[in-house]
Amino acid sequence: GQNIDQPTEMTATEGAIVQINCTYQTSGFNGLFWYQQHAGEAPTFLSYNVLDGLEEKGRFSSFLSRSKGYSYLLLKELQMKDSASYLCAVDAGNNRKLIWGLGTSLAVNP
């Protein structure tokens, strides 16, 4: 089968750095996406990785290792507004749809 695993919940402190991991097993791979979703709102796109390595975008970075089926999202200088759910999704290529993780709920405390 195809599946994506992420931790259910994480807690961090304002100003700190947090790493959210995502492991995947899919029959194909056309790229991995990270989305942020605040409670009751729509997911919004954060990053896309298709090649191995680190993609940096401001306070957010995302890393991919295709051989290990592994990605992480790194959030630096955490702010209270970063409290949200972070969703990992893989474009597995088959059936042309995304495979979604259940999301990691991040709580940022003062």
Partner 1 sequence: EAQVTQNPRYLITVTGKKLTVTCSQNMNHEYMSWYRQDPGLGLRQIYYSMNVEVTDKGDVPEGYKVSRKEKRNFPLILESPSPNQTSLYFCASSYRRPGGLGLTEAFFGQGTRLTVV
Residues near partner 1, by CB under 8 A: 30-31, 33, 35, 40-45, 48, 87, 91, 93, 95-98, 100-103
The secondary structure element, H or E, covering residue 84 is strand 84-91
Nearer Cβ to partner 1 (38/59):
38
Contacts 24+ apart (CB under 8 A), 59-62: 60/34, 62/32, 62/34
Q: How far is the CB of 91 from partner 1 (least distance, A)?
A: 4
Q: How far is the CB of 15 from partner 1 (least distance, A)?
A: 29
Q: How far is the CB of 43 from partner 1 (least distance, A)?
A: 5
Cβ–Cβ under 8 Å, residues 30 and 91 = yes
